[in-house]
C-alpha cells in the first residue's frame, strides 16, 4: 500500500498536525492541535480517513445538544403524529409521520406542526378551493384565473419546501431542481437548475410575470367594491 505523507500544518476537520510522534504497534501517530486549543495524539490513519475529527470536543458538543421533542400521539389540526421518520431532518427540523383525519399519511417537519403551518395532508385546502370553484363565485376569478390558487401555500408533499420547485435525480446521483408555474390550468416551464437558489430565483421571476398582473388587478377591484 502507498505510504501517505504526513504534512505539518495540514488540517483534518478540527485538527491541525503539529508533528509526528512515536508509532505504536507500527501505527503512525501525530500530535495535533484542535480548534478548541487542546492538543491530542491520534492515529494518523484514523485522522486522514475521518474517523477522528477532533480531540473529543465534537462528540461532547453533539451529546450536549437537546434531543428533539417527542411529538408522538400529539394532534395538530387534523394531523395526529404517529412516529418519528427515522433520523430524517429538513433544514435542521425533525420529521414526523402523521395521519390525517382523511386517513392519508404524510411526513411533516416538526417546526411546521408546532407553528401550525401544516394542519392537514392538504385535503383542507383542496376542499376549500373545490367549494369556492363549485360555488362559481365570480369575485374569486380574474380574467379566467382562479385567484385563491395563485395564493395557495406550498403543498405538504413537496420535498423542496418551495412552491413550484421539484427535484430531479440523475442516474449518477446528481440532483437538479425544476421550476414551473401554473396559471389558468396552463403550466409554464421555468427551467432546470443546478442549485435550489437558482430555481427559487426563476420561480420568483415567473410569479412576477404570470401572477402579479392578476393579483394586483384583483386587489384593485376588491378596493372599489
Residue 128 has pLDDT above 70, yes or no: no
| C-alpha cell at position 218 | 384583483
- Quick check: 181 pLDDT over 60? yes
| CA-wise closest residue to 201 among 186, 173, 181 | 181
129 part of a folded domain: yes
Top pLDDT among 11 and 117 is at 11
Confidence of residue 94 (pLDDT cuts 50, 70, 90): confident
Q: Check whether residue 163 and residue 196 sit in a common domain.
A: yes
**Distance between CA atoms of residues 153 and 145, nearest Å:** 17
Residue 82 backbone zone (phi > 0: left; psi -120 to 50: alpha; other: beta): alpha
In terms of domains, do 162 and 211 share one? yes
Asked whether residue 139 is assigned to any structural domain, the reply reads yes
Residue scoring higher pLDDT (214 or 44): 44
Q: Which of 160, 78, 76, 77 is nearest to 110 (CA)?
A: 76
Rounded to the nearest 10 degrees, the angle between the axes of helix 196-210 and helix 212-224 is: 40
Is 4 domain-assigned?
Answer: no
Tell me what pLDDT residue 52 has. 93
69 inside domain: no
Q: Is residue 157, in this structure, part of any structural domain at all?
A: yes
CA distance 59 to 96: 26
Q: Please indicate, yes or no, whether residues 208 and 129 belong to a single structural domain of this protein.
A: yes
Tell me if 1 is assigned to some domain. no
Q: Which of the four pLDDT bands, split at 50, 70 and 90, describes residue 32?
A: very high
Assess whether 109 and 129 both reside in one domain: no
Same-domain check for residues 147 and 209: yes
Higher-confidence residue of 81 and 186: namely 81
216 and 140 inside one domain: yes
Residues 59 and 128 in one domain: no
| 153 and 214 share one domain | yes
pLDDT-derived band at 213 (thresholds 50, 70, 90) equals low
pLDDT at residue 20 in the model: 95
Q: Is residue 200 part of a domain?
A: yes
Residue 99's domain spans which residues? Answer: 75-114
How many separate domains does the chain show? 3
Per-residue pLDDT for 167 more than 90?
Answer: no
Residue-level pLDDT at 1: 47
Amino acid at each position: 500500500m502507498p505510504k501517505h505523507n504526513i504534512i505539518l500544518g495540514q488540517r483534518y476537520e478540527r485538527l491541525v498536525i503539529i508533528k509526528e510522534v512515536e508509532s505504536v504497534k507500527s501505527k503512525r501517530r501525530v500530535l495535533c492541535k484542535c480548534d478548541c486549543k487542546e492538543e491530542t495524539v491520534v492515529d494518523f490513519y484514523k485522522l486522514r480517513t475521518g474517523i477522528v475529527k477532533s480531540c473529543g470536543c465534537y462528540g461532547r458538543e453533539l451529546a450536549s445538544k437537546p434531543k428533539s421533542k417527542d411529538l408522538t400521539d400529539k394532534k395538530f389540526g387534523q394531523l395526529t403524529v404517529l412516529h418519528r421518520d427515522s433520523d430524517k431532518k429538513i433544514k435542521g427540523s425533525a420529521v414526523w409521520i402523521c395521519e390525517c383525519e382523511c386517513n392519508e399519511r404524510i411526513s411533516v417537519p416538526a417546526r411546521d406542526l408546532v407553528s401550525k403551518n401544516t394542519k392537514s395532508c392538504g385535503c383542507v385546502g383542496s376542499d376549500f378551493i373545490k367549494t369556492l370553484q363549485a360555488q362559481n363565485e365570480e369575485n374569486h376569478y380574474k380574467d379566467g384565473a382562479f385567484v385563491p390558487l395563485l395564493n395557495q401555500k406550498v403543498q405538504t408533499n413537496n420535498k423542496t419546501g418551495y412552491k413550484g420547485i421539484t427535484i430531479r435525480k440523475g442516474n449518477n446521483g446528481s440532483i437538479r431542481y425544476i421550476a414551473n408555474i401554473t396559471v389558468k390550468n396552463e403550466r409554464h416551464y421555468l427551467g432546470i437548475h443546478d442549485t435550489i437558489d437558482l430555481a427559487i430565483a426563476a420561480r420568483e421571476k415567473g410569479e412576477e410575470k404570470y401572477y402579479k398582473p392578476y393579483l394586483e388587478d384583483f386587489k384593485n377591484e376588491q378596493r372599489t367594491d
